Amino acid sequence: MGSGTEAHETTGAYVTAGESFTRDMNYLTTRITRDGAQGYPVEAGRYRLVVSRACPWAHRAIIVRRLLGLEQALPMGICGPTHDRRSWTFDLDPGGVDPVLGIARLQDAYFARVPGYERGITVPAIVEVSTGQVVTNDYAQLTLDLDVEWAAHHRAGAPDLYPEHLRGEIDEVALAIFRDVNNGVYRCGFAGSQEAYERAYVRLFDRLDRLTERLRDQRFLVGDTITEADVRLFTTLVRFDAVYHGHFKCNRSKLSEMPVLWAYARDLFQTPGFGDTVDFEHIKAHYYVVQTDLNPTQIVPSGPDLANWLTPHGRESLGGRPFGAGSPPGPPRAAETVPAAHTPAGSVASFGSDAD
């Protein structure tokens, strides 16, 4: 999958009256490779992956890093869920400063690489610790390189998320998902005209219907194991009812009203490395607080009820081996564990406490 097939999340997604939403297609495409051909060799501890749990594009990198067991080789910094119109910030860290990079705003790492950098300050971004410079924010290629180029640092039992014999099919499926679903929800939400919205809406649900048929009799999107394609669809599905259905007007059906996709999403959510990376509070705070074009009051909805993410999905009956010949990752590191109150388990506990 060439990096040109996708674009990245920017901090500035705004409604432009009369126009369709167009995603910024420009990013820093430098790669970190085994041979260091672009000047950046794979090296444990040399880089820092900067993410936000709120962002669906960064969420892909969080999941892939965890599934592959790259926590020690590629340490991670986590930005807060909200930001100003220019830069993600390290609100979660003591003093609001990343403890390794020593910066409060991610834009400082971009400026260190390109003085006066004018494009979106995006996550995920990989920063070289010694120079404080962003190496890449090309998230589409970034996870593929974690799959392939970082193989020497994968954990024992790591799954092959981008198997060579399936790459053509994975690329094809993932590109359709990006165009119509990952980016499609944004094209609905940030449409500047009724016509642009309706075009995006039709494309989104047409693709979801096609994915329903694809997944009706097979457990995963490509082959019988989890691949990059599943990671890329999951990060949109997990946000669908909490954000996209209402906030982005993607309201033909909730995910929980689409039985096949709902069971598929729950199957992945209950798989180690997926659900344990989801922070629903960060997700809602980001969309409803930052995107004032769509939600000028910045009121964050209390729902939806999250408990149903933990209900049985029944997808095991379709066979498949989530991790292939490998094994699931162990528990997340303490410093990277999503607060319980931000998860379905926490919502169940909170509900029980109130009921008492």
Residues contributing to the annotated binding site: 88
- Token pair in block for residue 219: 């457990």
Instruction: Report whether 41 contacts 34 (CB < 8 A).
Output: yes
Is residue 27 annotated as part of the catalytic site, yes or no?
no
Q: Residue count of the chain, please give it.
A: 356
Residues making up the annotated binding site for glutathione are 88
Instruction: Report whether 20 contacts 191 (CB < 8 A).
Output: yes
Is residue 55 annotated as part of the catalytic site, yes or no?
yes
- Strands 47-52 and 125-128, by their bridges, are antiparallel
- Residue for token pair 């998860």: 343
| Catalytic residue of the set 27, 47, 186, 287 | 186
- Give 229: exposed, middle or buried? Use CB within 10 Å, 0-12, 13-18, 19+: buried
> Omega of the bond prior to 56 within 30 degrees of 0, cis?
no
Cα angle 221-159-4, degrees, rounded to a multiple of 5:
60
| Catalytic residue of the set 27, 55, 244, 287 | 55
Residue in 123, 99, 160, 134 with CA at minimum distance from that of residue 9: 123
* Cα–Cα distance for residue pair 83/76, rounded to 1 Å: 19
Instruction: Report whether 314 contacts 103 (CB < 8 A).
Output: no
Catalytic residue numbers read 55, 186
